Structure 1
Amino acid sequence: MLLSAKRMFAALSALAVSAVVACLPGAVEAAPAADGTLLVAEPFTGASADARFRAYGSACLTGAAPGSTPPAGLHPLGACPDGRVGPVPPADGAPYGFLQLTDAGNDRTAAVLFDQALPAEEGVEVTFDQYQYGSTSLPNPADGISFFLVDGSGGLTAPGAFGGSLGYAQKQPDSDPSRPFIPGVDNGYLGIGLDVLGNYFGDWERRGDDCDERSPSGTAFYVPAPGRNMVTVRGPGNGTSGYCFLTATTSNFSTTGPWPSTLPGELHGPLTNMPAGTTPQQAAALLAPSKRTVTVRITPGPNPRVTVAIDFNDGAGSQQVLAFAAPEPVPATYKFGFGASTGLFTDVHLIGDVTVRSLRPLAMLDLAKDTDTERVYRPGDEVEYTYAVTNVTGVPVPDIKVVDDRLTGVTCDSTSLTPAGTDGDSTTCRGTYTVTAADATAGKVTNTAHATGDDDRVVSPDDSVTIKVEAGPGPSPSSPDPSSAGPVPPAEPEPPNLAVTGTSVWRIAAAGGTVLAAGALLILVLRRRANDH
């Protein structure tokens, strides 16, 4: 949806707030995310999900009734097929469903992509539950789950390479130059790998190509993989270049292994079996010990910081496992996705309860106020105002109202707005103001309005309009008399070709001069014709 220049200016102005620094010793910490604005909230428990999430590969909803095998490329997020492998949650499981990236079959690839830009200026916090369990290849579960952010100014229609690249980075399979070099995700900004197997840590298969700083394990192939049970972060990249190693949860950043993980718990969960006949509610209870809740934060600039925290569901609560400087420049907006895959080694990969918030409040509503500002009004005139109210974020906003400081009784076509970019994300409201004698004395009327929503918890920036007012005996000629009863009869047409009477001396003189000039012109024409003969 395209916003008018006026709306766009208001929205951008509302987003411009002073920045904060987080996670530096002695620095001011970012406001709690609960004080920020909720941008996305999708539990993935139902038979359907927010349509802005698009599926790629085998990704599906266990809450939906069984369906056909999803196509290989990008498609709407829908049902899981029959015949899934491993201890997966039962189909038709709503309201106890999950987003299933892969079952425990071999050579699965999957991603879910959120292709709507979300504002980055006030920071962002993303929280989600991840489940990795049920491998058919123990003691080598694989591969892992990635959460990634991309520059929101571009599209997000496909993930990056899978396997050790986890759907974010690039990959030349087995580092074999005869095989195609698979690009990473377009306009990648940050790829966080929840890496059970451990290959995302290393630069084997040309991950991190063209990077000055390489992974501690370099480009060699290791058995076992060098970064088992590790959170590894890779930076910006595009095509087959970049996606450089940034940091990881290891105590050893030298080039000499091993590289032990410093995580205080296991990313991999304990569930190995889903008994036949298990109900969706029972499955959710069985899966609870395998749940790991991940929180990723990026603070506003200057000096933006990234933190990653994980609740291992062991009673210790959420524990920060990484903190580092965010790659700069930070994009103005983000899009995001999740990726997972299996190969010879397998695992079940699930996602649940995704929320995205700004760290500091955003203006969720945009208000554009309008009226006829060319007209000059008089006391008694009624001024008709319109207010276009638009949702500029990714969640619905109920209880829409307009508050105007000069009038009451503003009514709206709709009092609930859908997420930005969808049908129903905007509504028109209307109000009327009667001009007073005091307004004529002032020579103008300026009134200011704002929109509110969600029981006044959401407020738009103000918008003001000024009209001109002059003194007079009654309503201005350009408007009907609001005190008259019934419709105003149409004016009678003027008789054709009749001069207007009662004009001033100057107008009579001008008319006489025109007649004299025309007569002189006629005499000249007649004389010329006589001479010609």
Structure 2
Amino acid sequence: MAAGLLLLAAGAVGLSGTAARAAGALYLTETFTGASADPLFTAYGSACLTGAPPGTLAPGAHPLGGCADGNLVSSPPRDAAPFGFLQLTDASTDQSGAVLFDTPIPATQGLTITFEQWQYGTTTATPAPADGIAFFLVDGDAQLTAPGAFGGSLGYAQKRPDGVPTNPIIPGVVGGYLGIGLDVLGNYFGDWEDRSNGCPADQRSPAGSAFRIPERDKITVRGPADPADPTRGYCFLTSTADNLGVPAATSWPSNLPVTLHGLTATVPVGTAPEQAQALLAPDRRTIEVTITPAPDPQVTVAITGADGIRHQVLAFAAPQPVPDSYKFGFSASTGLFTDVHLIRNVVLESVAPAPILTLTKTSGATAPVRAGDTISYSYQVVNTGLAPVQDLVVDDDKIAAVTCERTTLLAVGDAPDNQTTCHGSYVVTDADAAAGSVTNVAFASADGGGALSAPDDLTVLVMGATPTPDPSATAGAPPGATAQPLPATGAAGTVPLLVAGLTLSAFGTLLTVVARRARSRILGAVDPLVGDREPRRRHG
């Protein structure tokens, strides 16, 4: 988690709809102001944290860390925590960056995501700043490892570079479901570069597929990828453009009440982090995207400028069929034209009251075990959500059947009836002994998968065959002293590490009892730093 939780402004203005979402659960809050971020975010390309010390950016996917020394054009200062940003690109040419949140969000709960974006600092004001930022959703079953094509496709859709027929099409994001482009340059609106390859005629951009000088500053939405071919699909859905549906139209100017692009020309080198934050404040635009719960979700998009007035600018039906869950990402790029692209203060909530589970796994093993021993596991499952859950199941990748003392858990306010204990056992194999340990991963689910816990893994060390003690190991020991074997799995008490002068080497060095590593927290798990949350307000 980034240093510090998001502190939502108590003086937010014009935020209609907050009361309707008050029952929803807070899934995620990430400020991106610190030197680190939630590890569930994976960076791609030029994406980095200005709050962290300068780092080295590997090509492709990499952990989200500090920005490279070269990524400085018009950018905020480095090592700036707690005044940092997620920087997708600086104002250099030919940059592409993204962050990918590779954790599923149940579609049945709906979602509202609010984030702040900055697009400013172009070095190419004439002819134009470029390109823009995309917020996108993909099918939760997709392996989200990279964004789609950059340039006018903004990291979501596909493209054939420069529209040259001999150039191969670069795929869009795999499993793409919805791509909302905050398009300063305007190319995401049109189908040039085969951005609607494979789409029916009624799902193509009214601007057509020929190259044209685009109208700037639109929010344009594109739909799902072809599940079998990520070079097809991503069809035009709607946009904040005038003249949509006008057959004879030849231009589609933006009707946004707030510009996406800011007026800041640059952040001068040597500017202090807090001063840079103040300098950029007028260019902040807060974006809010809401998708109501499946099976027939509706989508709304709103924008709030620096004046704090919220404007809903789009409302439309989400594409069908709807996936069972979503993952999300942000992406941005520059080409011959440039801009700085920044993100801050991401807040992800469910629309419906979300039943959310936590799972804690323990083992009865108090010492390294041997092949043939049985390890007993306990799983403590707690419903931290505001709604009860039914049909609780615990899945363990090493255990065929885990049984629970109860399978219906009430809401968090009905404790202790919101929790239960489940049980399973595993027989250690020769293969485990050869490997030296056995690790298994478990997670809880309920309501047919609508409620999930984080996966939790546990490692128990396994000993091989007991070595024949070296006679010299007991030399000098009192008469009758003998080496004693380690206790069997689950034996109470402590392990006798040294009996009557027996040296440690007689039994090897595998005496660590249990090694445990909790995986990254699940979307929606109660953060121990938060506890019972006060009612939340949004930024203005």
* TM-score category of the 2 structures, normalised to the smaller one: 0.5 to 0.7
Q: In the alignment, is the contact (CA less than 8 A) between 1:145 and 1:195 conserved in 2?
A: yes
> How has the CA–CA distance of structure 1 residues 456 and 89 changed in structure 2, closer, same or farther, with 3 Å as cutoff?
closer
Tell me the equivalent position of 1:415. Answer: none
1:206-221, aligned counterparts within 5 Å? 206-212=194-200, 213-221=203-211
Tell whether 2:347 aligns with 1:359: no
Structure number with greater Rg is 1
Q: Please give the secondary structure, in 2, of the residue aligned with 1:171.
A: coil
Tell whether 2:338 aligns with 1:350: no
Tell whether 2:234 aligns with 1:243: yes
Tell me the equivalent position of 2:331. Answer: 339
Tell me the equivalent position of 1:201. Answer: 189
Tell me the equivalent position of 2:264. Answer: 271
Name which of 175, 178, 185 aligns with 2:173: 185
Q: In the alignment, is the contact (CA less than 8 A) between 1:120 and 1:358 conserved in 2?
A: no
Tell whether 2:23 aligns with 1:35: yes
What CA distance in whole angstroms lies between the structure 2 residues aligned with 1:368 and 1:94? 33
Q: In the alignment, is the contact (CA less than 8 A) between 1:31 and 1:359 conserved in 2?
A: no
Kindly state the Cα deviation for residue 251 of structure 1 after the two structures are TM-superposed. Answer: 1.6
Which deviations, in whole Å up to 9, do the C-alpha atoms of 1:322-381 show, x marking residues without a partner?
001111122111100011000000000000001110011111225799xxxxxxxxxxxx
2:254 is aligned with what amino acid? S
Kindly state the Cα deviation for residue 260 of structure 1 after the two structures are TM-superposed. Answer: 1.0
Tell whether 2:276 aligns with 1:283: yes
Which deviations, in whole Å up to 9, do the C-alpha atoms of 1:166-216 show, x marking residues without a partner?
000000011112112100000100000000000000000000111112101
Q: TM-score, normalised by structure 1?
A: 0.65
Q: Please give the secondary structure, in 2, of the residue aligned with 1:205.
A: coil
Tell me the equivalent position of 2:92. Answer: 105
Tell me the equivalent position of 1:480. Answer: none
Q: Please give the secondary structure, in 2, of the residue aligned with 1:91.
A: coil
Tell me the equivalent position of 1:80. Answer: 67
Gaps of 5+ in 2: 1-16, 362-376, 386-411, 420-451, 459-524, 535-540
Q: In the alignment, is the contact (CA less than 8 A) between 1:124 and 1:359 conserved in 2?
A: yes
Q: In the alignment, is the contact (CA less than 8 A) between 1:195 and 1:229 conserved in 2?
A: yes
Tell me the equivalent position of 1:389. Answer: 381
What CA distance in whole angstroms lies between the structure 2 residues aligned with 1:51 and 1:277? 30
What CA distance in whole angstroms lies between the structure 2 residues aligned with 1:166 and 1:124? 22
Which deviations, in whole Å up to 9, do the C-alpha atoms of 1:392-416 show, x marking residues without a partner?
99xxxxxx999447x9xxxxxxxxx
Q: Please give the secondary structure, in 1, of the residue aligned with 2:93.
A: coil
Tell me the equivalent position of 1:135. Answer: 122
What CA distance in whole angstroms lies between the structure 2 residues aligned with 1:179 and 1:300? 40
Tell me the equivalent position of 1:91. Answer: 78
Kindly state the Cα deviation for residue 114 of structure 1 after the two structures are TM-superposed. Answer: 0.4
Tell me the equivalent position of 1:464. Answer: none
> How has the CA–CA distance of structure 1 residues 277 and 420 changed in structure 2, closer, same or farther, with 3 Å as cutoff?
farther
Q: Which moved more, 1:92-101 or 1:207-216?
A: 207-216
Kindly state the Cα deviation for residue 41 of structure 1 after the two structures are TM-superposed. Answer: 0.8
Kindly state the Cα deviation for residue 389 of structure 1 after the two structures are TM-superposed. Answer: 2.1
Tell me the equivalent position of 2:139. Answer: 151
What CA distance in whole angstroms lies between the structure 2 residues aligned with 1:63 and 1:420? 31
Q: In the alignment, is the contact (CA less than 8 A) between 1:30 and 1:299 conserved in 2?
A: no
Q: In the alignment, is the contact (CA less than 8 A) between 2:47 and 2:97 conserved in 1?
A: yes
Tell whether 2:108 aligns with 1:121: yes
Name which of 155, 167, 171 aligns with 1:167: 155
2:330 is aligned with what amino acid? F
1:313 is aligned with what amino acid? A
> How has the CA–CA distance of structure 1 residues 228 and 367 changed in structure 2, closer, same or farther, with 3 Å as cutoff?
same
Which deviations, in whole Å up to 9, do the C-alpha atoms of 1:463-522 show, x marking residues without a partner?
xxxxxxxxxxxxxxxxxxxxxxxxxxxxxxxxxxxxxxxxxxxxxxxxxxxxxxxxxxxx
Which deviations, in whole Å up to 9, do the C-alpha atoms of 1:77-127 show, x marking residues without a partner?
011011324221100000000000000000001111000111120211011
The Cα RMSD (Å) is: 3.1
Seq. identity, %: 58
What CA distance in whole angstroms lies between the structure 2 residues aligned with 1:229 and 1:310? 13
Kindly state the Cα deviation for residue 303 of structure 1 after the two structures are TM-superposed. Answer: 3.2
> How has the CA–CA distance of structure 1 residues 303 and 347 changed in structure 2, closer, same or farther, with 3 Å as cutoff?
same
Which deviations, in whole Å up to 9, do the C-alpha atoms of 1:241-268 show, x marking residues without a partner?
1000000001212353210111001100
Tell me the equivalent position of 1:51. Answer: 39
What CA distance in whole angstroms lies between the structure 1 residues aligned with 2:78 and 2:113? 27
Which deviations, in whole Å up to 9, do the C-alpha atoms of 1:106-154 show, x marking residues without a partner?
0001111000111120211011000000000003000000000000012
Gaps of 5+ in 1: 1-28, 370-384, 394-399, 408-418, 426-450, 459-533
Moved >4 Å (runs of 4+)? 366-369, 390-393, 422-425, 451-458
Q: In the alignment, is the contact (CA less than 8 A) between 1:86 and 1:135 conserved in 2?
A: no
What CA distance in whole angstroms lies between the structure 1 residues aligned with 2:384 and 2:332? 31
